[in-house]
Structure 1
């Protein structure tokens, strides 16, 4: 039982990790940028997570843990910020590989503005609740940055892939928050959230997960673009010489 959280982490990454070597997907060829991007994105979430754990916004049930801690967090929680984003980026990259270049969701702009509006309204109404406010305001700020500054071409593909990730999201988060268990692996202080849950999953987890995953794809795409640009430059240089 005290390995359950670790099992959830490893189960989440196992299939995507192995499938990364599939010749039609080939994500393993980009591990040189994927692993650094995952680690980079994990840092702010680990800091955030550690702080909220110390002030009692959420916490962990020891009987589901190995007992190894790092930065005041269970090692399983640290691994969560690697395993889950890896699975997400793998799914996103796979959809991107098998769809045409320039794939576009017609409602992309509406989806972005909907989430921005919902997050801002949530931040204003529940500004005194730490989990609700922080998750809402950070998601709104990042989506505003993407929508009006970065204007990424990959956003439609992310929304499309994310639609299929909802089912594994419910399964993983359901287990972590106590669905089918005597106690939750991760417990939440309901004084710091709105108290609305789907099964055992706090509503704020939707924003939290969206922010975490879209940040990982953003950094991965940034590094991938630089890598491909550098490769193209080297190829042209060789041809000219």
Structure 2
């Protein structure tokens, strides 16, 4: 069905959008920070997406998309970089609102170091595969910057917590996208290991996408907070 990918996008954002007006989270009041983070990150990932289409890393099944394309990408794929980050930042903020304690923050640095080590291992293991190299290379750079160069604000415990929760809808949504399949992967450009129908790399693609979004979201919030204190 040609509306499949579009319907998946709608399903992803429907409840986060409706619940954005929840009195405790008040997520709609944070749109001024959310939207710039999404658009900046989305612009980068769209370039990444275009590159991967050109390199035949992945492609889109014409049976499940509308056929409307911009710069060679399906409309639904462009919407993906709006709906998924919005839903993930919403999860992040909901957890922060309902579970504000961060007693496990002291362990987040160790988790980050383990992930940085995993990135290095994956770069060596998949050095000749585009998806593996670019995916883990990007995560290594962003994660390394956030943990070692970003001293203005710390949020990694909250991020990891949100990421683990976001894996639940991830397995549902990405499971559909890869099982039908809507998105078709060239296994010559990834490690060939899958969790169900989902490529192993996709888990860390989500992590990189969410991390850059959350970092920019927190950056914009922090900048306004500093200006408010100075004023």
Quote the Cα distance in structure 2 between the aligned partners of 1:40 and 1:166. Answer: 23
Secondary structure of the structure 2 residue equivalent to 1:127: coil
Partner of 1:120: 120
Quote the Cα distance in structure 2 between the aligned partners of 1:9 and 1:100. Answer: 29
* CA deviation string 1:196-230 (max 9, x = no partner): 00111000001111000010000000011122333
Deviation at 1:33, TM superposition (A): 2.1
Quote the Cα distance in structure 2 between the aligned partners of 1:198 and 1:115. Answer: 19
Q: How does 1:68-217 map to 2 (within 5 A)?
A: 68-100=68-100, 102-151=102-151, 152-178=153-179, 181=180, 184-217=181-214
Contact residue 42 and residue 81 of structure 1 kept, 8 A: yes
Quote the Cα distance in structure 1 between the aligned partners of 2:100 and 2:45. Answer: 33
Gaps of 5+ in 1: 235-241
Partner of 1:229: 226
Partner of 1:237: none
Secondary structure of the structure 1 residue equivalent to 2:127: coil
Secondary structure of the structure 2 residue equivalent to 1:59: strand
Deviation at 1:160, TM superposition (A): 1.1
Gaps of 5+ in 2: none
Deviation at 1:102, TM superposition (A): 4.8
Quote the Cα distance in structure 1 between the aligned partners of 2:119 and 2:140. Answer: 6
**Bigger-Rg structure (1/2):** 1
* CA deviation string 1:156-198 (max 9, x = no partner): 01111211111111111111111xx3xx100000000010001
The question of 1:15 aligning with 2:12 is answered: no
Quote the Cα distance in structure 2 between the aligned partners of 1:103 and 1:231. Answer: 27
Is the deviation greater in 84-93 or in 98-107?
98-107
Contact residue 193 and residue 200 of structure 2 kept, 8 A: yes
Structure 1 segments (4+ residues) deviating >6 Å: none
